[in-house]
Structure 1
Amino acid sequence: MEDMQAPSYLIKIGNRFYAQVRVPSDIAESYGRKQHKKSLKTNDHDTAVDRLHSAGVEIKAEFAKHRASLLRQKQEPAPVPAPTPQSFADLGRQYGREIAERELTIRADLYEEAVARPKEFWRGAAQKFSEPDQFTYFDKLMADGDLDRVVGYIIRKRSEDRIADLKRMIDTGDMGEVLALAEERQPGLDRKAHVALALTLARAEIAALQNSLSGDLEGHRTAPAQTSASASIPVSTTPALPPVSLDALFDKWKAETKPSASTLSTWRGIIKSLKAAFPEKADDASSLTPEDMIKWKDDLVESGKAAKTINDSYFACVRTIFGYGVNNRLVTANPGIGVKTARGRKASKTRFGYTNAGAARLLELARKETKPTLRWLPWLAAQTGSRISEVAQLWGSFVKEEDGIPYLDIKRAPDGGSIKETFSERTVPLHPQLIADGFLDFVKSKGDGPLFYGKSSGDPEKKHASKGVSTRLAAWIRENGFTDKRIDPNHGLRHWFKTHADDVGIQDRMADRLQGHATKTDAGGYYNPELSTMLTALKKIKLPPVSAGGDELDKASGG
């Protein structure tokens, strides 16, 4: 079985950038090298990063092709008679089936990549589109947030390009690539037969790709009955796989990928839903069909699930888990590919932050609370622009002082907490207003441990205790009249901070540093201001931003 494949790595040789991927252990010896390098055809770092993920998918396809070649070589071939048109046709059909299988794997890989890293995926894919109309259309798909259509568009583009390339080879006679393939499939042919087989294989690949564009990948996956004339031609077949249950498939994926506790919790529930829908198939994941997936999708729609939830959560889970299964020879196919529900158009998907008046009202409400989570978390989020999940996992030992400046050391809680990105770990001075309100006294009373929760299990497969704190805070904010669905009750403070920082003249790179945002340039990554400089910037943020009270606040609060 293929071991867990390492991600693509960016390296530089001379003045050119390359993607480098470790060769899987099961083919490393025959592959002849431990690392596969692919030129990214650029000496510009940003362009190389954009192209890195797409190159990784292409390298993985090369590994799959090599593995298929090894499987063919392991078979004991019967004596091969003189080639006939029928035997060439059989070889062409077999090659078409292999192309169809490869396309399924590539589609699963692309979708996983899009779900895991949408921004990097988009930038890398966009490099392939040179025509303005193509770029504009693809940009629109990304703006709509429909990953099914995005990945479908990329697959169509790469398939159409490959078909055009194969037709060019046939038209011009520049057939070196397919001649080499023909020699690998049927060595020892004379020149005329060699060319004839190469043409057959090229046309078979064109047909398989055209079928994939029309949505008929399955048509190539069932081997036709062999005639007596072709019975002596060795044709590779995929042995039947032993049954694997949905739970076992999920557990194997979990063990290798080590997803976040939040993803585990959500996706475990999705697998439970799938098992409940088809209990008779729960012990054999391969028995699930695309028709089953369509029925399940229809049932989810009928139950009131939103199209975005069905497409981007339920079927993202199914495609990822089954894609892993196909890649690791656990299941024969990915039944979730191509299944989606139509999205209804909404007036606006834009998320807003609180207005100054809304933020002030929320902070004044919090100031009246005695429960620590309600009293301090909104203020900490407002003074740092942090995600609530970051400050909810603060420990007393994370509140420190340097050169007379108290500050927060924002990082993962040692009992299994998580931070969204590596660059989100940072130090941020405490705003003078929090100190004046007694936050340091509160910290002293709690000691070095967690400030806003009792204890967490420490189990990486369970949600951290701070997640519940964040959820309860959001509910409290909604209960106090902040009901505008366009404003996330917790994250709205992060939006407010970004806008207010610009209003009071804080530079973007300073605001990004305070909030733990990704920098917009490579140079931004070197920006590491002193605590005193950050404190000077923070003092420009007035807390609360306006005085609370009056009808105007209620109208402007976002509630």
Structure 2
Amino acid sequence: MVLAMSRPSRHPKTGIFWLRKRVPSDVVARVGRAIEYFSLQTRDPGEAKKRHAEALARLEARWAELRRGEPAAGPGATTDASPSPRSLSEREAGERAGWMYAHWLRLHRENPSQQRFWPTDLYRHLWRSPGGRIEHHEDGRASVRAALGFAEAEKVAELEAWCRDQAETVLSLHDVEADETSAVRVAKAIAAQVQRASLSLAALAHGEPDAAPATARTPTPSVKPAKAIGLIELVEAWWREAERTGKSESTRESYTNTVKQLVAFLKHDEAHRVTVDDVRRFKDYRLATRKPNGQLLSPTTVKNSDLAALKSVFGWGVANGRLIDNPAIDVTVARVSKVRLREREFTAEEARRLLKAASGLERGKELPQTHAAKRWIPWVLAFTGARVGEIAQLRRQDLRWVEVEGYSEGVWVLRITPEAGRVKTKQAREVPLHPQLIEMGFPNFVAGATGERLFLVPDAKGGIAGPLRGLKNRLGEAARELVDDPGVSPNHSWRHRFRTVATEAGVSGNVIDAICGWSSKSVGERYGSVSLRARANAIARLPRIEI
């Protein structure tokens, strides 16, 4: 039986269990990947085993259907039968695991004391019976004392499963159909290499000389994926799957830009050649890069944008059998505490200054939509707490009049929806208009708009991503001319101010969250919903802004 005993494996950092199963060679072409790898979405070992078994059954059924769907061989034709399972000797298993020593050192060499996944003191308990020793007491009783506590035994099981996952990956990359005994031999050989490397790291962490430097490192397994893949090709393949999981177009653009910058930096486009040192050098290069305004990129941007992109794309490549390892997985940027000299929302005076300028804005040579954006968006942000992009992409049909209990004249409601463009939560929400916006004539402005979009002119293909980005920049520049304090964000500080003002007006936190599109902070808050009437009551409590 070939690798039939796969088990759920726990992620070393998140603790969430995953399924990792090598796809049988006779259906790899139809499945489109060499390894099935996905989250079981639980940290509970019992539940993970149950979900793992159910998922395996679904995979086996799917593979069986793929096999049945193959055309029958014609007369005299030969069939490509799956190769018989191979039996690997201990020497052969060791050869296929030898690369792990240098790989583990390379991952943790910069900060050896931070290698905590592999506790060297538990290595001797791997693949051994969990039995204990017999203790005799003075009263004649005998008891068995367990060799390991529950937590240690659980960790041992996790390490064994992790080594087995690595063995399955290595065997798949070598295109070896191994029997069960051989798979365990490779897993044990990998464990031995990780143990040896971890002991070296422990010595380095204590300042001891490195007895086995990794400078002349053994190359990563002397195999390559079925087809070498370029970096640009890799990010495009990642996107084809990520798009179906709900990732936004802006994420695709950001990740693609990062990969293109990496290609320009490395001066090659070969994904399998990228090393941990390459990623570290790229990180340092990005930290030294200046924005158009002359300021350095922030460490947060490099960490949450550049490194996050590389970790995701390379990680997808490993999970789908395109790469052997993820060179970005352990590269990070030290957290920098920002010096904050003020609150992040606009002060009352700053808000009045911005809104007064918006009300008195005269039309210049700019497009009518741009003028309308500068005129109305600051006011709408002040009374909705919305993100600037959510308002900038509004359409005429996104404002409607509805009947609400307790409001005899009805309520004007803005619908912020993914149908209009990007919404961070991917969920539509309705926000009643404040009476001051109605008095100022915002509904009349919407009714008189000539195009579908209130503040944008879509590009030649009907897209709004580029025009939206440009409009947000222009709004930010206009606000910066009036409030140049770097402690506030020209567009986003309205969102901070809304929560402060709403809280002072006595609006409850869950209602504020519903209006602004923030996630619930507790399980209890996820039950029930905030009615439109409750939202209208909350908006009505906000004070007018006199300019």
Partner of 2:315, secondary structure, is helix
After superposition, where does 1:229-240 map in structure 2 within 5 Å? 238-239=223-224
Q: 1:261 to 1:290 in 2, by over 3 A?
A: same
Q: Could you tell me which amino acid in structure 1 is paired with residue 515 of structure 2?
A: L
Q: 2:180 aligns with which of 148, 170, 184?
A: 184
Do the aligned partners of 2:225 and 2:322 also contact (CA within 8 Å) in 1?
Answer: no
Alignment correspondent of 1:390: 390
The aligned counterpart of 1:356 is 348
Which SS does the other structure have where 2:412 is aligned? strand
TM-score normalised by L of structure 1: 0.63
- What residue is the counterpart of 1:379 in the other structure? 379
Contact 2:501 2:542 (8 Å CA) reproduced = yes
Which piece of structure 1 moves more, 166-175 or 257-266? Answer: 166-175
The residue that corresponds to 1:290 in the other structure is 276
Paired with 2:390 and 2:130, the residues of 1 have a C-alpha distance of: 61
2:115 corresponds to which of 156, 167, 170: 156
**What SS is found at the alignment partner of 1:158?**
coil
How much identity, in percent, do the aligned residues show?
24
Q: Which secondary structure state, in structure 1, belongs to the residue aligned with residue 454 of structure 2?
A: coil
The one-character-per-residue Cα deviations of 1:137-172 (angstroms, maximum 9, x if unpaired) are xxxxxxxxxxx99xx99x834323xx4443345897
Counting helix residues as a fraction of each chain, which structure ranks higher? 1
SS of equivalent residue, structure 1 residue 405: strand
Relative to structure 1, the CA distance from residue 364 to residue 242 in structure 2 (aligned partners, 3 Å threshold; closer, same or farther) is same
Distance 1:459 1:350, change over 3 A: farther
Distance 1:255 1:35 in 2: 16
- The structure number with the bigger radius of gyration is 2
**Does residue 369 of structure 1 match 2:342?**
no
How many angstroms does 1:29 deviate by? 8.8
CA distance in 1, matches of 2:45, 2:280: 43
Shift of 1:377: 0.7
Aligned partners of 2:102 and 2:218 also within 8 Å:
no
Structure 1 residues 322 and 220: CA distance shift in structure 2, 3 A:
farther
Q: Deviations over 1:39-97 (max 9, x none)?
A: 64499xxxx9xxx9xx99xx99xx9xxxxxxxxx957748x8xxxxxx64663464464
Taking CA–CA contacts closer than 8 Å with sequence separation of 6 or more, which of the two structures ends up with the larger relative contact order? 1
What SS does structure 1 have at the residue aligned with 2:541?
coil
Write out aligned runs for 1:39-118 (5 A): 40-41=43-44, 74=83, 77=86, 88=90, 91-92=93-94, 94-95=96-97, 97=99
Among residues 239, 252, 277, which one is paired with 1:254 in the alignment?
Answer: 239
**CA separation of 1:167/1:436 partners in 2, compared to 1, >3 Å: closer, same or farther?**
same
Q: Tell me the residue number matched to 1:453.
A: 456
Cα distance in 2 for partners of 1:286, 1:316 equals 19
Select between 462-471 and 342-351 the one with higher mean Cα deviation.
Answer: 342-351
1:275 maps to which of 263, 281, 297: 263
Determine whether 1:206 maps to 2:195: yes
Match of 1:66 in 2: none
Q: Give the aligned partner of residue 429 of structure 2.
A: 426
Q: Could you tell me which of 293, 311, 314 is aligned with 1:322?
A: 314
Matched, 1:444 2:432: no
Distance 1:203 1:277, change over 3 A: closer
Give the root-mean-square deviation of aligned CA atoms. 4.9
Match of 1:409 among 411, 415, 419: 415
CA offsets per residue over residues 410-431 of structure 1, 9 Å max, x none? 11244xx1110034x2111111
1:503 aligned to 2:504? yes
Residue 478 of structure 1 aligns with which residue?
A: 480
Helix, strand or coil for the counterpart of 1:446?
Answer: coil
Partner in structure 2 of residue 3 of structure 1 = none
Structure 1: tracts of 5 or more residues without a match: 1-7, 9-17, 64-72, 81-86, 108-147, 188-193, 225-235, 549-559
Deviations 1:107-160 (A, max 9, x none): 9xxxxxxxxxxxxxxxxxxxxxxxxxxxxxxxxxxxxxxxx99xx99x834323
Q: Equivalents in 1 of 2:331, 2:316: separation in Å?
A: 17
Cα distance in structure 1, aligned partners of 2:382 and 2:305? 30
8 Å CA contact retained: 1:97, 1:208: no
1:166 is matched with: 123
Q: How far apart are residue 322 of structure 1 and its match?
A: 2.2
Counterpart in the other structure of 1:488: 489
Q: Does the 8 A contact of 2:224 with 2:324 survive in 1?
A: no
Q: Provide the rounded CA distance (Å) in 1 between the counterparts of 2:342 and 2:217.
A: 43
**AA aligned opposite 2:248:** S
Question: Secondary structure of the residue that 2:413 maps to in structure 1?
Answer: strand
**What's the CA shift string for 1:417-466, capped at 9, x where partnerless?**
1110034x211111110110011110111157111112256678x82533
TM-score (norm 2): 0.64
Give me the whole-angstrom Cα distance separating, in 2, the residues matched to 1:385 and 1:254.
Answer: 32
| C-alpha contact (below 8 Å) 2:17/2:43 kept by paired residues | yes
Q: Equivalent residue for 1:520?
A: 521
How far is 1:511 from its partner?
A: 1.3
Structure 1 pair 202–346 and aligned structure 2 pair: CA distance change class (3 A): closer
- C-alpha offsets along residues 210-252 of structure 1, whole Å, 9 cap, x if unaligned? 567779997998379xxxxxxxxxxx96346543222212211
Q: Which amino acid in structure 1 is aligned with residue 316 of structure 2? A: Y
CA contact (8 A) 1:366 1:376 kept: yes
Residue-by-residue CA offset, 1:4-54 (whole Å, 9 max, x unaligned): xxxx9xxxxxxxxx97979786689999x99996864499xxxx9xxx9xx
CA distance in structure 1 between the aligned counterparts of 2:233 and 2:252, rounded to whole angstroms: 14
8 Å CA contact 1:390–1:410 kept in 2: the answer is yes
**Partner AA of 1:327 in structure 2:** A
Q: Relative to structure 2, which stretch is displaced further, 349-358 or 469-478?
A: 349-358
State the SS of the aligned residue for 1:513. Answer: helix
Change in 2 beyond 3 A, CA 1:332/1:29: closer
Shift of 1:352: 0.9
Q: Distance in 1 between matches of 2:129 and 2:45?
A: 29
Counterpart of 2:286? 300
* 527-536 or 506-515, which deviates more: 527-536
Tell me, in whole angstroms, the C-alpha distance in 2 between the residues paired with 1:341 and 1:75: 47
Shift of 1:335: 3.4
Contact 1:23 1:34 in 2 (8 A): yes
Question: Structure 1 74/205 Cα, relative in aligned 2: closer, same or farther at 3 Å?
Answer: farther
Question: In 1, are the aligned partners of 2:21 and 2:37 still within 8 Å (CA)?
Answer: yes
Amino acid aligned to 1:536:
N
1:348–1:159 distance in 2 versus 1, CA, 3 Å: farther
- Number of residue pairs matched? 429
Instruction: Give the whole-Å Cα distance in 2 for the aligned partners of 1:347 and 1:449.
Output: 43
CA contact (8 A) 1:20 1:36 kept: yes
Q: Please give the alpha-carbon distance, in whole angstroms, between the structure 2 residues aligned to 1:198 and 1:532.
A: 61
| 3-state secondary structure, aligned to 2:401 | strand
Are the equivalent residues in 2 in contact too, given 1:311–1:341 (CA < 8 A)?
A: yes
8 Å contact kept, 1:241–1:331: no
Deviation at 1:338, TM superposition (A): 4.0
**Distance (Å, rounded) in 2 between the aligned partners of 1:77 and 1:531:** 66
The amino acid that maps onto 1:485 is: P
2:413/2:431 contact within 8 Å kept: yes
AA paired with 1:467? R
**Cα distance between partner residues in 2 of 1:348 and 1:197:** 53
Measured after TM superposition, the shift of residue 471 of structure 1 is 2.1
